[in-house]
Structure 1
Amino acid sequence: MKAAFAGTIIVSALASSAQPAEHNPLKGLFDCLDLTDAGKRASCLEGEARRLQDSERRREVVVMDRGQVEALHQQAAKRPEAEKNERAPFTPVDTPLTGAHLAGGRWLFTTETSGVWIQAEAAELGRTPRIGDRFRVRRGVIGGYLANIGTGPAIRVRSVQ
């Protein structure tokens, strides 16, 4: 995952059952560059650019520059080490989402009262989370956290802030 952050632009796609986990949403665009016929190449590039634009509008793909990724890492690093390792009493979370963004193939959830949470393992959510969706977090069996977004199934999450 750290190797993916080395590039200037990161494109992350929400994995679905129809796509393999290592699906590259830019592959079609890059394949167009190999076409030698100028007309076919232009047509291919136009089609792939529109497909990518549609995917971004549907929030299936998120494009972030290096600065945005580094800012996310800095937010996570600001948590004191003692707070990360200390097992403090946990109060279940039940609050509306104030933000939901796909970053590095995992969802980043923002709430007004309980901070920022990130999806702990790549899994399909069923539908795109929206601002205002009910966000509930509870302790899991082995000390992790499970979250439900709206009426969706539980997913594993971890606190970023």
Structure 2
Amino acid sequence: MTSHRSSPLLLALAVAAGGSLTLALAGCTGIQEAFSQEVTTEFRDTAEVVAQSGTTVPWLPADATEIVLKTKRDGEVAAAIARSGSALDPATCVEMERQSAPTVHIDDAPDVYAKDRVFACGAWSVIATTDGWYGWTPNSPGEKEKSPAAS
């Protein structure tokens, strides 16, 4: 797992101690995330997400790799993007008309507004990317209630 969070305290100590500009700039991501209240974490594969993430991503295929998970600090709002050659599990997800959009943004994610349809996967909505899947939560109540994973 790779976290993009840097400690603002570490940044302040480095600057106060005459730290290099490189170290000071590395802390900018942490400062930006502190103000935005979002945390971005990268995982090698689905097993690592399950073992180390506090956010449940039930739609992730077992073969997913290069997973980026971005969450609000409260954990209730999230987006995830992953590489995968597998289809989504029909016991979890159903295709339907899109009614929601993500409220956190992941770099390189596709434009969800260009898509009319999504897969409703419980509280998540998911769209295909060129090499995998991009999903967000919460979705709309209308999407959630149509999902086989809604129960």
TM-score surpassing 0.5? no
Sort the TM-score into its range (normalised by shorter chain).
Answer: 0.3 to 0.5
Rg (Cα) greater in structure: 1
Greater relative CO (CA pairs within 8 A, separation 6+)? 1
What TM-score, normalized to structure 2? 0.32
TM-score where L is the length of structure 1: 0.31
